[in-house]
Amino acid sequence: MIVLKTTQELELMKVAGRISAGALEEVGKYVKPGVSTWELDKICYDYIKSQGAEPNFLHLYDFPATACISINDEIIHGIPSKNRILKEGDIVSVDTGAKIDGYNGDNAYTFYVGQVSPEVQRLCETTREALLKGIEQAVPGNRVGDIGHAIQEYCEARGYGVVREYEGHGIGNKLHEDPGVPNFGKAGRGVRLLPGMTIAIEPMINMGTAKIKQLPGDDWTVYTADGKPAAHYEHTIAITDNGPVILTPRPSLDS
């Protein structure tokens, strides 16, 4: 069921979104070679708690951490660990959110660890641009397929693989609500977008094949099937009569 938010509810979601975005901005200050993903997760947890909010990923579906932290060929759902140490040239995707006063925020960002190769930088820049292309389509009267089509067309035209098995989602009182928001599709198809809808748009884009894999014994981490890097960016947005409003603004990261 799709829940349209009132003006008051959107204000509450802005607070949750700002805290979620602030957690990523804080984590970004510490992304460097030699840092463990466990340390980044603790920074994220401490920031969210300091703002009077709760980490909404922690224990959701039994996930054991505040953030999904995924390195290089890990697309999503990487589990933070003291043994996962960032190295020069890595990319690390951090996906996290906060809940406060009953409402959720959710966002993700792929950080460079030191200097990365031009090929990896191009992948990340393309994925960031694809997120913006998707957000541009999030206007009343359009459909979910318009968002996915914009993302797919932009990324595949540049030779990248668009993950099919995972998608964006509605968000509000629950972290995951209707509708699903795929990163591929046909324009003009799917659920119609209405003012008051709040959704998380999150392209997951692979340098090579769109195919994915999971390793035996790991029920969480999703990898690219060919071992090439993947990037992941996400914003929570509100659909309004005046156009899409980003509820997770990150001026220090997105400028």
Q: Enumerate domains of the chain plus CATH numbers.
A: 7-247 (3.90.230.10)
Q: In one letter, which amino acid is 80? A: P
How far is Cα 190 from Cα 184, in angstroms, rounded to an integer?
Answer: 11
User: In angstroms, what CA-CA distances link 205 with 10, 37, 76, 105, 182?
Assistant: 29, 21, 11, 22, 12
- In sequence order, the 6+-apart residues with CB closer than 8 A to the CB of 118 are none
What is the full per-residue pLDDT of the chain (255 aa) written as tens digits? Answer: 999 999 999 999 999 999 999 999 999 999 999 999 999 999 999 999 999 999 999 999 999 999 999 999 999 999 999 999 999 999 999 999 999 999 999 999 999 999 999 999 999 999 999 999 999 999 999 999 999 999 999 999 999 999 999 999 999 999 999 999 999 999 999 999 999 999 999 999 999 999 999 988 889 999 999 999 999 999 999 999 999 999 999 999 997
In this predicted model, what pLDDT tens digit does every residue of 55-77 receive, in sequence order? 999 999 999 999 999 999 999 99
In this structure, what are the phi and psi dihedrals at residue 87, rounded to the nearest 5 degrees? -120, 155
